[in-house]
Amino acid sequence: MHSMTGFGRGAAATNDWQATVEISSVNRKQAEVVVQVPRELNELDARIRKAVLAVVSRGRIQVSVHVERPQGAAADFRVDPALALAFSAAFAELAQTVGHSLLPSASDFLRHPGIIAMGSGEIDAEAAWLAIQPALDDALSQLAAMRGREGADLKADFISRLGVLVSFGQKISALAPERPIRQRELLTKRLRDAGLEIDLADERIVKEIALFADRCDISEELTRLDSHFAKFREYLDATEPPGRALDFLCQELFREFNTIGSKANDASIAQTIVEAKTELEKIREQVQNLE
């Protein structure tokens, strides 16, 4: 089990290139990979995405790749002859315009972007990939480890809170059989307060109690609750990312608790339902962090 938030950083170098890769991830319902690489390395975008999606199935993953020459490598300067000639020609034309000699100095050429630049103008993607790939693998390994640690913490929290929900379900199950009995007592009291003769064996009273017992029967909902609890535990131990499945189960648990509350029509059960839904909401908020 993994959370959807994490960070990883990796670095590697060859004789030609030194690469640094940083990866961060945050919550997102689907998998979204955003890759930032130097323009010359755009062709590596698909490889990077494939490597990331092999490790991550949900979340917004930001991948930042920085490539530079190794420290101590000989400086490499690039001159753009065409741009330099055009720049010089522009000064000659300006001299004709103003009517006196006007020559560019060395500092003029240095200040103009692109005429003289440090480093090669091109990065060989395949050569750079030899440094990027191990750095990417290292960053992904760190990301997965961090997401795994957070996932383990979430799992422990889920197990604890699920135990609380189970106890609420048991409490409701214990209160449910008493509901028709209390209804019979309430009906009997109302008839007596109205000054009516009461025969508890009266078919009408028996029928009314039987209908009420049928309407407030929550045995099916309690059975489904137990089934959902068992499925929840099963997903917690699954090897596949359980985020979507657990989110769906939370919705089903809310549905069952709501149905129990409306059918039981009992103050004690209603209070337990409120407490259970409060605990379930905490679980649901944490489920949103799961892959």
pLDDT (tens digit per residue) in 125-164: 999 999 999 999 999 999 999 999 999 999 999 999 999 9
Give CA–CA dist 83/269, Å, rounded. 83
Q: What band does 215 get if pLDDT is binned at 50, 70 and 90?
A: low
* Same domain for 172 and 140: no
- What is the average pLDDT across 98-109? 83
Q: Does 205 or 241 have the greater pLDDT score?
A: 241
CA distances from 236 to 145, 170, 194, 277, 278 (A): 18, 22, 56, 20, 21
Give the per-residue pLDDT at 183: 57
Q: Are residues 42 and 138 in the same domain?
A: yes
In the predicted model, what is the mean pLDDT of residues 266-284?
A: 90
Residues 103 and 192 in one domain: no
One domain for residues 65 and 82: no
- What is the number of structural domains in the chain? 3
Question: What letter represents residue 61's amino acid?
Answer: I
Instruction: Give residue 227's domain range.
Output: 148-287
Q: 15-24, 64-73, 75-84, 98-107: which has the highest mean pLDDT?
A: 15-24
* Cα distance between the two ends of the chain: 7
Find all residues with CB under 8 Å of 254, minimum gap 6, and list them.
277, 280, 284
Cα angle: 47, vertex 53, 57; to 5 degrees: 170
> What CA–CA distance (Å, rounded) separates 175 from 161?
21
Residue 283 — pLDDT band, cuts 50, 70, 90? very high
% helix, strand, coil for the chain, step of 5: 60, 15, 25
CA distances from 103 to 109, 155, 165, 218 (A): 11, 73, 85, 96
Banded pLDDT at 246 (limits 50, 70, 90) = very high
pLDDT > 90 fraction of the chain, expressed in percent and rounded: 49
CATH number of domain containing 57:
3.30.230.70
- Looking at the fold, whether 87 and 24 belong to one and the same domain comes out as no
CA dist., res. 75 & res. 16, Å (int): 12
Is 1 part of any domain? no
